Structure 1
């Protein structure tokens, strides 16, 4: 890896470190398999979500809105509750 690439990665890491989490809203578009559109910008499947036990017990249907906590890097989202 070259010096320029190393500097770019360090800069990106500094930006991400400044915003370790974000609270977002998602709307369920499909129930099985689960699909959620997040902030009307992008769609994610169940693989990206970590469900709290209380949320798992709730009946989730298409059209329901979820309160999400994006984990740093955006590779996983904690489903905090159904709104």
Structure 2
């Protein structure tokens, strides 16, 4: 009889925990880039995330874009060197219930 009660209590605890987690869709974290290649980010000095766990936004990656420049005719293609570097501070969000972290942007800057 006592075993059934313990199982019920445990099930209620799990249900309550799941409800709390579902009410907050994302968690915000702060981290520091500790390695550029391979990319590694130390999150709040608690865990180190590798490339497989990270989703990078355009704000933190190198990319190519087309732009018009007033002093030149027509459009030109430009390479933007915006990849993260060791020592930079970043803001991340963790996907709900997931193991992936989205690197939103740098914090501060020079």
Report the TM-score range of the alignment, normalised by the length of the smaller protein. 0.7 to 0.9
Q: Post-superposition, which runs of at least 4 consecutive aligned residues in structure 1 deviate over 2 A?
A: 2-12
- Residue 66 of structure 1 is matched in structure 2 by 90
Of the three residues 35, 38, 49, the one matched with 2:43 is 38
Q: State the TM-score, normalizing by the size of structure 1.
A: 0.79
Query: What is the rounded CA distance, in whole Å, between the counterparts of 1:35 and 1:54 in structure 2?
Result: 17
Aligned residue pairs: how many? 82
Q: State the TM-score, normalizing by the size of structure 2.
A: 0.63
Structure having the higher Rg: 2
Structure 2 spans left out of the alignment, 5+ residues? 1-6, 63-81
Question: Where does 1:11-30 land on structure 2 (aligned, <5 Å)?
Answer: 11-30=16-35
